[in-house]
Structure 1
Amino acid sequence: MERQRWKTNLTILMGGNFLVMAGMTMIVPFLSLYLKQDFDLTDEHEVGVWAGLIFAANFVTSFLFQPLWGKLSDKYGRKMMLLRSGFGMAIITTLMGFATEPWHLLALRMLNGVVAGFTPAAVSLVSATTPKQRIGFAMGTLQSGGTAGAILGPFFGGLLADSVGFRPIFYITGALLFLASAISWLLVRENFDRSAAALKKQAGLIKGLRDLLVIRQLPALLSVTFLIQFAMLSPMPLMPLYVEKLHGTTANLAFYAGFVGSVTGLSNMVCAPLLGKLSDKIGSSRILLVSLAGAGVMLIPQAFVGSVAQLLTFRFLLGCFMGGLIPTVNSLIRKHTPDDMVGRSFGFNSSALALGNMLGPVVGGALSGSIGIEGLFIYSGILLFATCAWATWALRVGRSSAAGSKT
């Protein structure tokens, strides 16, 4: 029975990941409209500035605090960090519905980034309780739950905004986060010896990072996480305008823009568990490198498409390869990290992911004036090819050094 516990944990946390991501993405696409309608902001530039600051605030504080939570999870257990994050975000998100000034939202989003970390904690817990020969499948399945939530969240948010308004969405999101946390509290099990962990001396964050960077593969994997997010998100701010250019008319424009945004997630959701299962058979490194190269191949033609249908085709194929990126990075991090440093390792990886989420759209927006969105697709594709070459070299170096240490 205990040997099957990892499957129960995976199922529950995949569902929790779905609820968290669905809840967190419900309001994001409508943030500027919320500021305009409920906060009486009339100047378009002012709305844009506030929306950008509020959106980025979560990533800034998350980038700063994720390593701390990762360190504490190695000391107090992954489940405790999971519940801390889930219940904390439930309270803060609910409070966002009571905000009366834009700076209230900004402060709450910053605070949300401080306590955030349900998904990294879930990844850490699943990786610590899953047999290593099934870790690829588990990471892919866990991601598929979050991806499904991220796809359906904006859809449900749009339906709710039309029927009940924006503020109730925050209350519903808070309830979903609370539900996911409560289910995890009651049903997720973790064999964690807190007394033994307390006896181990915990290194400071800087010392902990240095200890991790000694492991030859980890600097490469942290860099790959950052570069994946950076390359993928660079073109995203201009995607609706690109769809408008290709579509050539305002009829059903919102539908097509939303479809282009979600089709990548759909194929990602389907392919992530399949590629994860395949990685358990042929190795996570191979899947990672093929997925990086494949994603680069699928990005570049998007600069030369002549219709929305062609763009949808390449976006769908891009999502297939994306399903083999972050899950295999997580699998490799777990493979190369000592058991007593798993939480810390995933904490730093979450910071790398947050940094890519934060800088990708900013740099993409800055470059778009000179190279356009077509240039951003080419730039992002080349960046993924370079990342593939870097990962190939770094992981081979890691294997060579590991082989040398055994002889």
Structure 2
Amino acid sequence: MLALFTLAGLTETIFYGHTNAFTPIYLAELGLSPAQVTVWTGWTAALASAFGLLFLPLWGALADRYARQPLIVRSFVVLAAAAAGMALSGSPWAFLVARALTALALGNSGLMMTTLSEHAPTGRHGLAFSIMNGAAPVGAFVGPLLGGPLVDRLGFRSLMAVDAALLVLITLLTTFGYRDAYRGASTRPVMRMAWESLTMLGRSPQLRTLFPALFLLFGGWMMAFTYVPLAAATLYRGEDVASAVGLVMGTAGIAALIVGPLVGVAADRWGHWRIVLLGAVVALLLWPLPSLASSFQAFTALWGLLNGVVASVFAISFVLLAQSVGAEQRGRVMSFSYLPVNVGLLIGPGLGALITQRSVFAVFPAAAVLTAAGIVVLLRARRHASA
């Protein structure tokens, strides 16, 4: 099960990595000016996230009411359709609609982690979650590195066609590759359960502070992540821009791949809260540095280090959420596990579209400000957890 979920997460991350890394290049090919590309890069990411947030409570409620596996399969069907839609898009608006479709796939990672948490050995949840979430940095490493040359030679549409085929394969594997015995025992209406999922976050003092803390921590990350391709293209001198962007994103992915399991083991040994807080402080100190890079090589190294740290903190934050509620409510809460990133993709790129009018590198000190605020709220959440 761990291997299957890791493979599914890897394929999903490769697809998302491709859309994030090469959207600016494709928007330019669709006829937008450089200034328009900067604005559209932020708003395409933000609007897709906003659309998905409307449906997020429903997925967890359906999973708790009936079963988790069909909801996991649903997400990969949607992603395959979105990839096909982007491959066929011929205008910025058509591309925006196709990318917005990905929002209907939200909630799958939380459901997979809920299922995994019920099968992982006691005391190994941090390691298991780090391995599964290690698929994200691997996808971020492999996807852009392989996708960049393909975009340079065959175009973005060909890349999306390949992604669509891979996502169809994952749909089949998640349908027939494992069996989840969980069946919901509740007979309450789904919409009431969805509403209770939202109110549950507000009733719990720990969740009421933990989620806002994670919104701030990862909002800055998503803001910077959205604009890294444009920053890299600004510093790069040469042809094959897509390959250069792929190198930057790939370096960041392999850094997270190396750091993630080490942080997971450290969290299991010394405490998840302690390691999350320590990682957030390290990220705060690192955030301004990419804006000071004077060369493409320096920027690549600094972003790789920074992404490795923040991605590792992100992986361990799932353990904090999983431990915050009992088994009966865990499915609904964990369906919100990517909510900090989803909200970050709404707030971060939208804010970035405004602050990058003068310089695309302004996102990095802005991310430091959001991280500092997140640490303050995270300390409050820890006090609630200890109470």
Same fold (TM over 0.5): yes
- Whole-angstrom CA distance in 2 between matches of 1:245 and 1:103: 25
TM-score, normalised with respect to structure 2: 0.86
- Whole-angstrom CA distance in 2 between matches of 1:44 and 1:154: 22
- In structure 2, the partner of 1:157 is 147
> Contact conserved, 2:61 with 2:332, CA < 8 A, in 1?
yes
- In structure 1, the partner of 2:68 is 78
1:23 aligns with 2:12: no
1:284 aligns with 2:276: no
- In structure 2, the partner of 1:87 is 77
Distance change in 2, residues 1:159/1:369 (3 Å): closer
Instruction: Report matched runs for 1:8-407 at 5 Å.
Output: 9-34=1-26, 37=29, 41=31, 53-194=43-184, 196-198=185-187, 203-236=192-225, 238-239=227-228, 242-243=231-232, 249-250=237-238, 257-369=245-357, 372=359, 376-400=363-387
Deviation at 1:35, TM superposition (A): 5.1
> Contact conserved, 1:64 with 1:351, CA < 8 A, in 2?
no
* Structure 1 residue ranges without an equivalent (≥5): 1-8, 401-407
Question: Deviation per CA, 1:138-157, whole angstroms, max 9, x where unpaired?
Answer: 11111111221123222322
**After alignment, is 316-325 or 327-336 more displaced?**
316-325
Distance change in 2, residues 1:362/1:58 (3 Å): closer
| Partner amino acid, structure 1, of 2:349 | P
> Contact conserved, 2:260 with 2:311, CA < 8 A, in 1?
yes
Question: Deviation per CA, 1:218-249, whole angstroms, max 9, x where unpaired?
Answer: 122212331122112334455456556766x5
Deviation at 1:292, TM superposition (A): 0.4
- Whole-angstrom CA distance in 2 between matches of 1:19 and 1:72: 24
Deviation at 1:289, TM superposition (A): 0.5
- Whole-angstrom CA distance in 2 between matches of 1:42 and 1:270: 38
SS at match of 1:325: helix
Deviation at 1:286, TM superposition (A): 0.9
> Contact conserved, 1:227 with 1:387, CA < 8 A, in 2?
yes
Distance change in 2, residues 1:357/1:156 (3 Å): same
| Partner amino acid, structure 2, of 1:387 | G
> Contact conserved, 1:86 with 1:116, CA < 8 A, in 2?
no
- Whole-angstrom CA distance in 2 between matches of 1:376 and 1:171: 32
- Whole-angstrom CA distance in 2 between matches of 1:111 and 1:385: 33
Distance change in 2, residues 1:373/1:136 (3 Å): same
- Whole-angstrom CA distance in 1 between matches of 2:189 and 2:49: 31
| Partner amino acid, structure 1, of 2:354 | A
- Whole-angstrom CA distance in 2 between matches of 1:320 and 1:42: 33
Question: Deviation per CA, 1:150-175, whole angstroms, max 9, x where unpaired?
Answer: 23222322333345443333332121
Larger radius of gyration: 1
- State the identity %: 23
- Whole-angstrom CA distance in 2 between matches of 1:305 and 1:46: 25
| Partner amino acid, structure 2, of 1:68 | L
Deviation at 1:105, TM superposition (A): 3.2
- Whole-angstrom CA distance in 2 between matches of 1:266 and 1:59: 26
Distance change in 2, residues 1:214/1:139 (3 Å): same
> Contact conserved, 2:230 with 2:360, CA < 8 A, in 1?
no
Distance change in 2, residues 1:56/1:246 (3 Å): closer
CA RMSD of aligned residues (A): 3.1
> Contact conserved, 1:289 with 1:388, CA < 8 A, in 2?
yes
TM-score, normalised with respect to structure 1: 0.83
SS at match of 1:349: coil
> Contact conserved, 2:215 with 2:374, CA < 8 A, in 1?
no
- Whole-angstrom CA distance in 1 between matches of 2:142 and 2:308: 18
Distance change in 2, residues 1:234/1:98 (3 Å): closer
- Whole-angstrom CA distance in 2 between matches of 1:263 and 1:381: 21
- Whole-angstrom CA distance in 2 between matches of 1:378 and 1:48: 18
Deviation at 1:386, TM superposition (A): 2.9
Question: Deviation per CA, 1:336-374, whole angstroms, max 9, x where unpaired?
Answer: 12212222212333333211012212213322446x556
